[in-house]
Structure 1
Amino acid sequence: MLSENSQIFSNADPYSVSDYVNQYIGTHEINLPRKRAAEASLSHRSFGSLDLCRISYGSNVSVTSSGLNTCYHLQVLLKGHCLWRGHGNEHYFAPGELLLINPDDPADLTYSNDCEKFIVKLPVTALERVCSDNHWNKPIEGIRFSPRHSLQQLNGFSSLLNLVCDESERVHAPSRLREYFTGIIATKLLELLDNNIECEPFEESGSPFERVVQFIEENLKKNISLDQMAAVARMSPRSLYNLFEKRANTTPMNYIRRLKLERIHTYLSDPESKIRSITEVALDYGFLHLGRFAENYRNAFGELPSDTLRQHANLNYRR
């Protein structure tokens, strides 16, 4: 996680490293024994809205913070141990364990001499964006995680962090790619770690595409908006477009229009249907521009609505 290309300090004074952390990673204070070795090290990269940091103070050190304000700190213990105190509890973190510090949580940590951590600084806005895109309700008090976790809860997360670190060290990593990885990390944390967000599994109510199709069919005569469909699918409008291109080879609104035309064609072709006028049927399905409706109908079925209705009338006459 982060190569020598990202190293800022090596065998440095711990207070020099702390000053850098205060400037770029998060406000804190450190307290060390009077006699200390200059063995602190730090590697750091900014990657989109993420900050990635690998840090070791090389000494027993106490780290305290009153709060992180606008960001979350995900700390992965790589070596040694770290004593955490919070919410009236304490826990010795061992390698492979995760500490997730909420923005308004005070921090009280004690590092061992050989303690080394990898820290991901993630802005509040990144997690809120994921909630918005998936239409998950964000609590009034904000998104909050429980502090203690394990890498085993995040299958493949170590590989993801290594990939993000590699990409962060590229000279010209596209900004779109940087934010893409930020979204993946935020989504994994929200879906897999204990928090106060209710993420309803898609499996309980069908796939997103199936839910939207069912919603369309049940409301076909109504004016269905893109935002309504996105809410049903629990994804952003852009993601909904991509979903329909993949599953139906068309856009959501074109899918609705095609389905309406098919329903009208079936209705006009049914000898049992009692049709007073084509205009009435078209208006019933939301086609307000009758000339455009007739053109769309002919493009879809190779004939005008009046032709379909005439065949229907001929069938009734023969009967």
Structure 2
Amino acid sequence: MDGLTVLTSRVDGFEGFRDAVHGSHVDVMQLQRGRFRGLLTHIGVGDFSLSVGSFSVGLRTQRTSSDPKLIVGMLLGAESRVTHWSYDMDPGDVLVIPPGVDHDGRFHGAASYAALRLDLAGVAGAFGGESWMSDPANWRRKHRYRADPRIGADAVARLREIVSRLSDPDARVSPEAANFWRRAIIDVVTATVMHSQPPGTTETIPSATRLIRNAEHYIEAAGSRPVHISEICAKCGVSRRSLHRAFTEVLGIGPVTFLQRKRLCDIHSALRDCDPATTTIAEIALQHGFLNLGRFSGYYRALFDEYPSETFGKRYPGRGRQRPAEPAATSSAASPASRSIASLHSNYARY
């Protein structure tokens, strides 16, 4: 499995944004007066990449049709008008740029964005079970997807949190966890696209009991690594709506809640076995798909009636308290360096 790579750099001229989408050359011209200040973060897992950029002045951008990759972009914030082709964009809106298609954009002021770069053939694995989204043919047309205000705002906030945490120099992410976060990033950036699709009408759905059995067999085979819901859908060949109905019917809870509790159980076992001298609660939580230490602690205590630090200290009495994870830690468990990355990406957009 491929590991996670993160590269963050400050940019002091518009020329630095020719790598605005990692692996894809973009022609950039500064059109608004002022000193250019920018920040670029590239997150990679294998041939997948996410680029997050923010800049302080208005730009004109163009990408040539020679790029063979699919790009899915999301506007994170903007102080003024943003247009791509003839589309006006608002924060949370998503833009699909197919392979081999020219693209032009105009930012009339400071802004921030995120962009996925994928192999078109990879959408089948990324969106398995979602009939429209898993068909490469449906990604060959340029399109702008308007974000539902709530879904768009949630997606922007969630993506900022993921980037902030993964950009922490102290964050250690295993290859297994890297695959989980790759799927989580794709899920967040394309949430607006998925929300825009009508419910499937031709899906063949196995019985709820058999579907749950197949899903649990897959989860069990995965061991302690975090499993994303998109993996289950791809393996079982069903949409998220169908998977949710089956889990609710058989187990009384949805698949997202089920997977979250499975990860919490794996963390509980890890905390009992790990030595606090060699690891931290935050590291274990990140490896199992939790970003925010305060929220994670709340989920953990609700399920086990004790805090993670209490479990951590059982095998080594008195040592678990050195690394508490109580609800008072309401901010992300990121270091000051990663928090500054998140604030800079916001500040350059000034919104």
Q: Partner of 2:115 in structure 1?
A: 120
Q: Partner of 2:13 in structure 1?
A: 13
TM-score (norm. length: structure 1):
0.51
Counting matched residue pairs gives 211
Instruction: Determine helix, strand or coil for the equivalent of 2:182.
Output: helix
Q: Partner of 1:268 in structure 2?
A: none
Q: Deviations over 1:13-52 (max 9, x none)?
A: 211x134437x3522212335x954423122131422323
What does 1:103-182 align with in structure 2 at a 5 Å threshold?
Answer: 103-112=99-108, 114-124=109-119, 125-132=121-128, 134=129, 136=131, 138-139=134-135, 141-144=137-140, 146-150=143-147, 152-154=150-152, 156-170=154-168, 171-182=171-182
Aligned partners of 1:80 and 1:95 also within 8 Å = no
Instruction: Pick 1 or 2: higher relative contact order, CA cutoff 8 A, min separation 6.
Output: 2
Summarize the Cα distance change of 1:172–1:106 in structure 2 as closer, same or farther, 3 Å threshold. same
Aligned partners of 1:139 and 1:197 also within 8 Å = no
Structure 2 counterpart of 1:174, one-letter code: S
Aligned partners of 1:45 and 1:51 also within 8 Å = yes
- 2: CA distance, partners of 1:146 / 1:208: 36
TM-score (norm. length: structure 2):
0.47
- List alignment gaps of at least 5 residues for structure 2: 1-5, 214-231, 239-245, 252-351
Displacement of 1:169: 1.5
Structure 1 counterpart of 2:158, one-letter code: L
Instruction: Determine helix, strand or coil for the equivalent of 1:119.
Output: strand
What does 1:55-70 align with in structure 2 at a 5 Å threshold?
Answer: 55-56=54-55, 58-67=56-65, 68-70=67-69
Summarize the Cα distance change of 1:111–1:236 in structure 2 as closer, same or farther, 3 Å threshold. same
Displacement of 1:77: 3.6
What does 1:302-313 align with in structure 2 at a 5 Å threshold?
Answer: none
Instruction: Determine helix, strand or coil for the equivalent of 2:146.
Output: strand
Q: Partner of 1:93 in structure 2?
A: 89
Instruction: Determine helix, strand or coil for the equivalent of 2:38.
Output: strand
- 1: CA distance, partners of 2:190 / 2:20: 26
Structure 2 counterpart of 1:59, one-letter code: V
Aligned partners of 2:50 and 2:116 also within 8 Å = yes
- 2: CA distance, partners of 1:213 / 1:32: 54
Q: Partner of 1:254 in structure 2?
A: none
Superposed CA RMSD in Å reads 4.3
Summarize the Cα distance change of 1:45–1:212 in structure 2 as closer, same or farther, 3 Å threshold. closer
- 2: CA distance, partners of 1:8 / 1:38: 17
Instruction: Determine helix, strand or coil for the equivalent of 2:57.
Output: coil
Name which one, 1 or 2, has greater alpha-carbon Rg.
1
What fraction of aligned residue pairs are identical, expressed as a percent?
7
2:77 is the counterpart of 1:78: yes
Instruction: Determine helix, strand or coil for the equivalent of 2:94.
Output: strand
- 1: CA distance, partners of 2:127 / 2:92: 27
Q: Deviations over 1:135-174 (max 9, x none)?
A: 7364463535731322534573234313321342243212
Q: 1:43 aligns with which of 37, 40, 44?
A: 40
- 1: CA distance, partners of 2:184 / 2:35: 37
Q: Partner of 2:299 in structure 1?
A: none
Instruction: Determine helix, strand or coil for the equivalent of 2:139.
Output: coil
